[in-house]
Chains A and B, each alone.
Chain A
Amino acid sequence: MTITDAPAATRPSSTVHDGVGSSAARPDGVPKVDGSFIYSSDEYHDGSLWGATLRSPHPRARILGIDTSQAAGLDGVRCVLTHRDVPGSKIFGMVVYDQPVLAFDEVRFQGEPVAVVAAIHPEIARRACELIVVDYEELVPNTDPEVSLTGKVEGLPSGGLVRHVRIRHGDAGAARALADVVVGGRFEMGTQDPAFLGPESGLAVPLGDGGVELYVSTQDLHRDQRQVADCLDLPLDKVRLVLSGVGGAFGGKEDLSVHIHACMLALRTGRPVRMVYSREESFFGHVHRHPAIADVELGATRDGRLTFTKVRLVLDGGAYVSTSQVVIANGCYFAAGAYNVANVEIDGFATYTNNPPCGAMRGFGAVQSCYAIESAMDRLAAALDMHPLELRARNAVGEGDILPTGQAVDGPAPVQEILAYLRDLPLPADVDRPAADMRVLPGGVGNVTRGEGIRRGVGYALGMKAIGFSGGKDDTCTARVTVWIRDGEPVAEVYCAGPEIGQGVVTLEAQVARTELGVRTVELRDKDTDIAESGASSASRQTWMTVGAIVGACQLVREEILARAAAVLGRSGGELTLDGPEIRDLDGRPLVPVAEVLGPEAVSYDFTYRHRPTEPVDPERGQGNAHVAFAYAAHRAVVDVDVELGLVRVVEMATAQDVGKAMNPAAVEGQIEGGTVQGLGLAVMEELQITGGRVRNPSFTDYLIPTMLDVPPMPMKIFEFPHPDSPYGLNGVGEPPNLSSTPAILNALRDATGLELPRAPVRPSDLIEAAPAPGAPAEDTAQSET
């Protein structure tokens, strides 16, 4: 694929080492491997206290009273705080304020924070929490989203309905009457957890002026800062946030966790306060992916052209809004998949219940809808007796097609190329089962089969998602680039608040500065709230936005240096280029060292980048040009299933994705592999099991994520069709591989077993064909849980 850059006439002429397009090494790579990297849980300050959180054991209860006297009297305890001690707003939230900093009146989910303690030792803080006496009147939790969406549930905000999204495009009813083939089905998805390894943690340091400094793991420093300041009743300039090492996020670190609590404890005690959630607490301390119920109906002509798509999508947001109203919109925007279909009717409901709160997670609603539509597409392919790839290719969206929201697809839409790669890629060889190493067979090291019961399946799925914030948000990102001379050589410093959450934006910051300025040495300043905002590391947007801001700032710096050189040389700036330590003419001849031009002065510019404007969709028909850009990926999954034991070995996950420009190919591969594996987990093992509002498996013993023995080879094709609106033609990368991975595996499992498999993740018992074993009394299934 040809890669065309943005106009580069004034960029450095010579090849830049570790510039854009190279697989430059991560600056934090070695420290993360050798253990010297400072994660937010490692933050330390002399004389710091430890904070701990008391959480509700009940999914729903009225708080009749809280007695903290015993806890406060425990030796080593420095303070115990409840909702009465919240200085400012008693509620917070990402989009709307609705979640109590500390619970009052009623707790609405199991694990809701009720009180916080600061003590000289973490164990003392935990024991103090146990001494707090909360008088609860337990209430019956509302846990059924199908009931909540009626909007008539007493005890839930808005009667239980967060938002109903409607998208109407064409006339699905009329098309249904005319369709040659109609298929339908209900597809459900359990609750996935982001399962980041680095738990919520941070360090709050009180400042002499009554302000506070918070070192914390987050996806958005400035949105956090606003909420923290509001709840502390402090002006923004008295609340300074500094990004600490983030040990994974996936959307789960967009909502606040330790932030306000640590600051309250630090301000009250006048001492620095560290807070680190335990693994179990972490499962209650962050939002999850919304569990979903999707009803899909598709109609097509006999030759496999989609004529209508109807989807009803229910996402349970749990106890508080978080981003549910946006997640349901995003789920609905892409509920008809990456297909060109003239008649679409989509109804999406986000609900309140007393289940744990759900919010942002990689894919942001589009994971659930991609799973549903791609499952239904395979049913349609079966009804038409058509190869699933052929059906997808016949209906794949292309440039100029109109989406269900009325927006025309612009920018590259190389879906045919993506599907062709998967079609032409040879299938992996069969395993020589009796001779095979058990680790390549279903069940892995469990030694459960030597080939007995194994069937192979192949499945495909295609996904499409918007990149960046949709719906009319004025989204900005600011970067500052400063150049000065050190030891005769120009050095660039890049300063931008865009959080590094593992995706590698820090690597790109340096790559872009090297490419734009030709400098060898780039220093990255700590990320904090002293500079204007970058927006969240979410929606696959941070690379696009940060690179846009740095390119803009570099351009201003470059122009200034060239203008100064032009003055020194008595030539026009347009005749000069900046190439690392030298100013050259357009033929590359050196004219004067940059050191001579700058002398002891630094050149520094801020630049605020904006993507193209978007607009909200209308509430009645969901029409509007809501999106900045679109990205596409597809997977072909090959699985081996032991149909007697219901165990799975994913044999191969082939994938193709358009990334516009692979800014750092190794990082792009990492994102695609990671997104694919997270989707694999959701297909076959990852589920937070929740019964009656209670989480049954809050541990990595029982919330299973894939190990290396569950991860197959991942042949991939990275397409680079430059995006017309973005810096370097890049596109967002992080979320698309997470969409199609899960349904591709589900479709492969369906292919292997012939079963409908209407729910993800698939459990072993879902995959066994036989009736329960002989001798199994029927009443077994009614035995109670332990």
Chain B
Amino acid sequence: MQGSGSVLRPASWGDAVLLRSQHPEASPICGGTDLMVDVNFGRARPGALLDLTAVAGIDSWELMDGGRTVRIGAGVCFARVIDELAGQCPALAQAARTVGSPQIRNRGTVAGNLATASPAGDSHPVLLACWGRVEAESVRGLRLIDIDDFFVGPKRSALEPDELIRAVRVPAATGPQQFAKVGPRNAMVIATTSFALNLDVAGRRAGTGIGSAGPTPLRARGAEQMLEEALADRWDGPRGVGESVAQEFGALVAEAASPIDDVRGSAAYRRHALAVLGRRCLSWALADLEAAGAA
């Protein structure tokens, strides 16, 4: 194609990182489910493509830290997250179920989701709620980016131009997790807004994430603090943490959002829906916690 460069197709991770530094104009592509949409709509005309699909070793996941962390390779598609990681990462698997169509879930990856860094990325609220970390690698070396530092603006991340995402590290669930997403269609829809909740029973902390209700994915810190205080010494059996806590939690989730009106919904609706999702997700998680404590 005139004016376009080549397709670079490294076979090893080392080569991929090297090519990334040598060809800053090349767009990395793996699943292609975001990039090709931009190309087809004429919004992107990459000078070259850095095709990661032949890179050995990135299409697998492994347990680290004695099973406490799941390290998900950049090439692992959403369909495999659903099929293989629903035990360790239930909220991420639930988010993966809401991604596009079966064909998209067979191609798209969590790492690709992160690289696009859309405020509507379905993985993002879960990664916030779970305190995930992103492995970013360049010829300069490997660094771990805390998820709280990763999203810096609409479709902008902390990745440097010479960096590639090698893997995502997600702490394995130690308690109930939830992910819920609202859209005007019952499948294959970009989130009007979404919410993730992680009750880290082992760490005695609550994690949250909000999607599509701000310039970046957001954490509802006030809601987390309130919930941690409410649970205090009742993490192993949250009896008495009732509807009023869930209600207040939902309100705090809504308060943490900074949504706008756009073609997918109004700011007021997004805030309203987040309050409902926050309340419902917490009430389900508390019921799960109670059931686990009783068992």
Q: Which positions in A face B, CB cutoff 8 Å?
A: 75-76, 121, 123-124, 126-127, 278-280, 439, 442-450, 452-453, 644-647, 649, 684-685, 689, 696-697, 699, 701-702, 704, 706-710, 763-765, 768, 770, 772-776, 780-781, 783-786
A780 and B268 within 8 A (CB): yes
Residues of A within 8 A of B269 (CB): 646, 764-765, 768
A710 and B187 within 8 A (CB): yes
Residues of B within 8 A of A684 (CB): 184
CA distance A697 to B185 in the complex (A): 15
Residues of A within 8 A of B284 (CB): 450
CB contact under 8 A between A773 and B271, given known A439-B186, A445-B187? yes
Q: How far is the CB of B289 from chain A (nearest CB, A)?
A: 16
Which among A123, A765, A783 is the interface contact of B260 at CB below 8 angstroms? A783
A123 and B2 within 8 A (CB): yes
B185 and A710 within 8 A (CB): yes
CA distance A425 to B40 in the complex (A): 47
Q: How far is the CB of A680 from chain B (nearest CB, A)?
A: 11
B98 and A446 within 8 A (CB): yes
Which among A447, A706, A770 is the interface contact of B185 at CB below 8 angstroms? A706
With both beta carbons as reference points, the residue of chain A lying nearest to B275 in the complex is identified as: A773
* B89 interface residue per 8 A CB criterion: no
A447 and B187 within 8 A (CB): no
A763 and B184 within 8 A (CB): yes
Q: A444-B186, A704-B185 are in contact. List 5 more A-B contacts (CB 8 A).
A: A123-B2, A446-B182, A647-B186, A689-B263, A709-B187
Jot down 25 A-B pairs with beta carbons below 8 A, ordered by A. Answer: A75-B2, A121-B1, A442-B186, A443-B182, A444-B185, A444-B186, A446-B98, A448-B180, A448-B280, A646-B269, A685-B185, A697-B263, A704-B184, A709-B186, A709-B187, A710-B186, A764-B192, A773-B251, A775-B251, A775-B255, A776-B254, A776-B268, A776-B272, A784-B261, A786-B260
CB contact under 8 A between A765 and B188, given known A773-B271, A784-B260? no
Leading 3 A-B pairs by shortest Cβ distance: A444-B186, A773-B275, A765-B269
CA distance A146 to B254 in the complex (A): 38
Interface positions of B from 1 to 23, Cβ below 8 Å from A: 1-3
Contact string against A for B residues 26-38, beta-carbon threshold 8 Å, 1 for contact and 0 otherwise: 0000000000010
Residues of A within 8 A of B271 (CB): 772-773, 775-776, 780
Interface positions of B from 164 to 188, Cβ below 8 Å from A: 178-188
* B189 interface residue per 8 A CB criterion: yes
B275 and A781 within 8 A (CB): no
Q: How far is the CB of A698 from chain B (nearest CB, A)?
A: 9
Residues of A within 8 A of B181 (CB): 446-448
With both beta carbons as reference points, the residue of chain B lying nearest to A763 in the complex is identified as: B184
Residues of A within 8 A of B255 (CB): 775
Residues of B within 8 A of A783 (CB): 260-261, 267
Which among A126, A764, A775 is the interface contact of B184 at CB below 8 angstroms? A764
Interface positions of B from 236 to 295, Cβ below 8 Å from A: 250-252, 254-255, 259-269, 271-277, 280, 284
Residues of B within 8 A of A765 (CB): 265-266, 268-269, 272
CA distance A696 to B268 in the complex (A): 19
CB contact under 8 A between A774 and B251, given known A278-B42, A443-B186? yes
CA distance A649 to B187 in the complex (A): 11
Residues of B within 8 A of A773 (CB): 250-251, 254, 271-272, 274-276
Residues of B within 8 A of A702 (CB): 190, 263-264
A645 and B276 within 8 A (CB): yes
* B133 interface residue per 8 A CB criterion: no
- Tell me the total A-B contact number using a CB cutoff of 8 A: 157
Q: How far is the CB of B276 from chain A (nearest CB, A)?
A: 5
A785 and B260 within 8 A (CB): yes
B268 and A781 within 8 A (CB): yes
CA distance A436 to B101 in the complex (A): 21
B2 and A764 within 8 A (CB): no
Residues of B within 8 A of A646 (CB): 269, 273
B186 and A447 within 8 A (CB): no
* B88 interface residue per 8 A CB criterion: no
B2 and A121 within 8 A (CB): yes
B2 and A644 within 8 A (CB): no
B263 and A780 within 8 A (CB): no
CA distance A785 to B263 in the complex (A): 8
Q: How far is the CB of A350 from chain B (nearest CB, A)?
A: 27
Residues of A within 8 A of B274 (CB): 773
Residues of B within 8 A of A706 (CB): 185
Which among B190, B265, B275, B280 is the interface contact of A764 at CB below 8 angstroms? B265
Q: Which positions in B face A, CB cutoff 8 Å?
A: 1-3, 37, 40-42, 94, 97-98, 101, 178-190, 192, 194, 250-252, 254-255, 259-269, 271-277, 280, 284
CB contact under 8 A between A452 and B185, given known A774-B275, A783-B267, A786-B260? no
With both beta carbons as reference points, the residue of chain B lying nearest to A124 in the complex is identified as: B2
Q: How far is the CB of B93 from chain A (nearest CB, A)?
A: 11
B2 and A707 within 8 A (CB): no
Which among A76, A442, A447 is the interface contact of B98 at CB below 8 angstroms? A447
Which among B41, B186, B254, B277 is the interface contact of A707 at CB below 8 angstroms? B186
CA distance A708 to B185 in the complex (A): 10
CA distance A764 to B186 in the complex (A): 12
B42 and A126 within 8 A (CB): yes
Residues of B within 8 A of A764 (CB): 182, 184, 192, 265, 269, 273
Q: How far is the CB of B173 from chain A (nearest CB, A)?
A: 16
Residues of A within 8 A of B277 (CB): 448, 645
Residues of B within 8 A of A645 (CB): 182, 273, 276-277
B266 and A446 within 8 A (CB): no
B272 and A278 within 8 A (CB): no
CA distance A785 to B265 in the complex (A): 10
A768 and B182 within 8 A (CB): no
With both beta carbons as reference points, the residue of chain B lying nearest to A772 in the complex is identified as: B268
Residues of A within 8 A of B266 (CB): 765, 780-781
CA distance A770 to B279 in the complex (A): 15
B254 and A774 within 8 A (CB): yes
With both beta carbons as reference points, the residue of chain A lying nearest to B250 in the complex is identified as: A773
CB contact under 8 A between A446 and B183, given known A121-B1, A765-B269, A776-B268? yes
CA distance A381 to B272 in the complex (A): 33
CA distance A447 to B191 in the complex (A): 12
CA distance A685 to B178 in the complex (A): 26
CA distance A765 to B271 in the complex (A): 11
Residues of B within 8 A of A685 (CB): 184-185
A775 and B254 within 8 A (CB): yes
B41 and A699 within 8 A (CB): yes
Residues of B within 8 A of A453 (CB): 276
With both beta carbons as reference points, the residue of chain B lying nearest to A701 in the complex is identified as: B190
Residues of A within 8 A of B3 (CB): 127
With both beta carbons as reference points, the residue of chain B lying nearest to A647 in the complex is identified as: B182
Residues of A within 8 A of B264 (CB): 702
A772 and B190 within 8 A (CB): no
CA distance A289 to B36 in the complex (A): 30
Q: Considering residues B180, B188, B255, B284, which has the most beta carbons from chain A within 10 angstroms of its beta carbon?
A: B188
B186 and A446 within 8 A (CB): yes
A447 and B180 within 8 A (CB): yes
With both beta carbons as reference points, the residue of chain B lying nearest to A127 in the complex is identified as: B3
CA distance A763 to B269 in the complex (A): 10
With both beta carbons as reference points, the residue of chain B lying nearest to A764 in the complex is identified as: B184
Q: How far is the CB of B155 from chain A (nearest CB, A)?
A: 12
Residues of B within 8 A of A707 (CB): 101, 185-188
Q: How far is the CB of B228 from chain A (nearest CB, A)?
A: 20
Residues of A within 8 A of B187 (CB): 439, 444-445, 707-710
CA distance A696 to B263 in the complex (A): 7
Q: How far is the CB of B254 from chain A (nearest CB, A)?
A: 5
Residues of A within 8 A of B268 (CB): 765, 772, 776, 780-781
Q: How far is the CB of A638 from chain B (nearest CB, A)?
A: 15
CA distance A521 to B94 in the complex (A): 54
